[in-house]
Amino acid sequence: MSLSAVELVLVRLPLLRPFRTSFGTLTHKEAILVRAAGDDGVEGWGECAVAEDPLYSEEWNAGAWMILRDYLAPAALAGTSPSVKGHPMAATALEAALLDLRLRREEVSLAAHLGGVRDRIVCGVSLGIEEDVDQLLEQVRRFVADGYRRIKLKIEPGWDVEPVRAVREAFPDAALSVDANAAYGPEDAGHLAGLDPLGLDYLEQPLPKDHLLAHADLQARLETPICLDETLTSPHVTEEAIRLGACRIVNLKVGRVGGIGSARAIHDLVVRRGVPMWCGGMLETGIGRAVNLALAAMPGFTLPGDTSGSDRYFERDLTEPFTVDADGTMAVLDGPGIGVSPIDEALREVTVRRHLVGT
């Protein structure tokens, strides 16, 4: 049994409401799905987590499409390693599809393959920047009522201490954190210290991703733990960040670190270091969300992550919907591979284009 073809599928799903961050406002989710087709009729699926534009990272969908089409997929079909530098999210999508194909053949779930120890994970939700504090409070109220165990608020200069204080006053017992998406500079240390009295679980990625020493300096000035996201691109960088004291918490995103294998290595490193960790999200469809769910079942993921329900973003997901129960948990999938596949009708409705590599 071997790989016979790789298909790329570009999809665009409207979001239920705009999602604003410091690097832009999203009104829809555009993603590349990768279908790995075996000569035995078995298929595996993966999702590329990049966005339509290179705003969160250097990758974007048009570039990832070309890398997958012209380099990564042909190499996989030839059984060779592509001589491509970078492009971790594109590589992750193909790796996930190939692993899903293999595990479906073996009838093993991805969670079991990764050594998952949970049959349910604790869920958190990430909320974008709103037009005003009243709208923000309304969104927080909704998701607290839905049972989510952690509320994360996006912040940027001009929208930080005061709206976060308003949320803390309205929800004094909520597990609350904030995410800056690298919107601040080292000169903002004094201002960011204004978050310390608000009892946050962490401040995520306050500075640009290559500012390791500056993050260490900032952490020394803050009571609030720093969590790194964009900075942590590999096991090596993660080890350096922990050793330097640049973060006390790790956000692990499988696409950002180049695939499930790299994510597993970082997980094991973080566990050895005794650092709390959680699984980040990128507004994935059900294909990418299934991978995140399996990762979050591993023992090192001790904090609520971004694995929200499908109804957080989409009226209709590509797969069977992911749901959060009233206790704020979600069931880990135990079917072969990632445990889900796209629903044909749902996929057709949102497909922008397709390209088949191979026969």
- In terms of domains, do 20 and 125 share one? no
Query: Which runs of E-coded beta strand occur in the chain?
Result: 3-21, 24-38, 43-48, 120-122, 124-127, 150-154, 176-179, 203-204, 226-228, 249-252, 277-279, 329-331, 351-358
Name the stretches of the chain with pLDDT < 70. 1
**Do both 153 and 260 map to the same domain?**
yes
Residue-level pLDDT at 1: 62
Q: Do residues 179 and 201 lie in contact, with contact meaning Cβ atoms separated by under 8 Å? A: no
Cα separation, 229 vs 127, in Å, equals: 16
User: At 205, phi and psi to the nearest 5?
Assistant: 40, 65
178 forms bridges with which residues in the sheet? Answer: 153, 203
pLDDT of residue 242: 98
Q: Annotated active-site positions, please?
A: 154, 253
Per-residue pLDDT reduced to its tens digit, 272-298: 999 999 999 999 999 999 999 999 999
- Domain match, 203 and 246 both: yes
Q: Are residues 103 and 117 in the same domain?
A: no
Instruction: Return the pLDDT at 219.
Output: 98
Note whether 116 and 74 are same-domain residues.
Answer: no
Query: Are 92 and 168 part of one and the same domain?
Result: no
pTM listed for this prediction = 0.96
Whole-angstrom distance, CA of residue 115 vs CA of residue 14? 35
> Is 54 inside a domain boundary?
yes
| Domains in the chain, number | 2
β-sheet bridge partners, residue 121: 330
pLDDT at res. 334: 96
φ, ψ for residue 80, nearest 5 deg: -120, 170
CATH number, domain with residue 272: 3.20.20.120
Q: Which of 133, 126, 243, 138 is nearest to 181 (CA)?
A: 126
Whether residue 347 sits in one domain with residue 207 = no
What is the C-alpha separation between 60 and 71, in angstroms, rounded? 16
Residue 120 belongs to some domain of the structure: yes
- Are 59 and 92 within 8 A, CB to CB? no
- 61 belongs to a structural domain: yes
CATH code of the domain containing 24: 3.30.390.10
Helix axes 286-296, 260-273, angle to 10 degrees: 30
**Contact status, residue 211 vs residue 230, Cβ threshold 8 Å:** no
In a domain, 338, yes or no: no
Q: Is residue 258 part of a domain?
A: yes
For residue 336, being part of any structural domain is answered with no
Question: By residue range, what is the domain housing residue 232?
Answer: 112-331
Residues 62 and 120 occupy one common structural domain: no
Instruction: Report yes or no on 337 lying in a domain.
Output: no
Each residue's pLDDT tens digit, 158-202: 999 999 999 999 999 999 999 999 999 999 999 999 999 999 999
Whether 278 and 243 share a structural domain = yes
CA end-to-end span of the chain: 15
